[in-house]
């Protein structure tokens, strides 16, 4: 989730509060659960590559700017073969079967 997009589009699902001179922003819907220092976000957005993304904790809505970054972009394409990653997520549906694929070693 990109909180800078929420600020830029003036998302109505954002909240803000001040604490000791710092304005903190967050998402009412819990799409991201971290609160962000607005001044620092704006400072980072003025640089390249910007503030960046936060982990989505809830389902994004239609106005959210979200992306999925590969965990290991240096690996060959294809599905992850570690079954535990597919079933260990606490929100995984009951009885969900992992998708298994077998990768062919290079040169075979």
Higher pLDDT, 50 or 82: 50
60: CB partners within 8 A, 6+ apart: 1, 31, 66
What is the pLDDT, as a whole number, of residue 84? 61
Higher pLDDT, 26 or 96: 26
What is the pLDDT, as a whole number, of residue 67? 85
Tell me which H or E stretch contains 7: helix 3-8
Q: Is the pTM of this model over 0.75?
A: no
The model's confidence at residue 24, banded by pLDDT at 50, 70 and 90, is: very high
């Amino acid at each position: 989730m990109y909180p800078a997009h929420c600020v830029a589009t003036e998302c109505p699902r954002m909240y803000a509060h001040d604490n000791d001179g710092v304005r903190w922003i967050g998402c009412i819907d819990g799409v991201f659960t971290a609160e962000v220092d607005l001044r620092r976000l704006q400072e980072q957005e003025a640089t390249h590559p910007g503030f960046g993304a936060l982990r989505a904790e809830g389902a994004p809505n239609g106005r959210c700017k979200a992306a999925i970054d590969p965990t290991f972009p240096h690996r060959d394409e294809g599905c992850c073969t570690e079954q535990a990653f597919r079933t260990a997520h606490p929100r995984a549906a009951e009885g969900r079967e992992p998708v298994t694929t077998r990768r062919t070693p290079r040169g075979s």
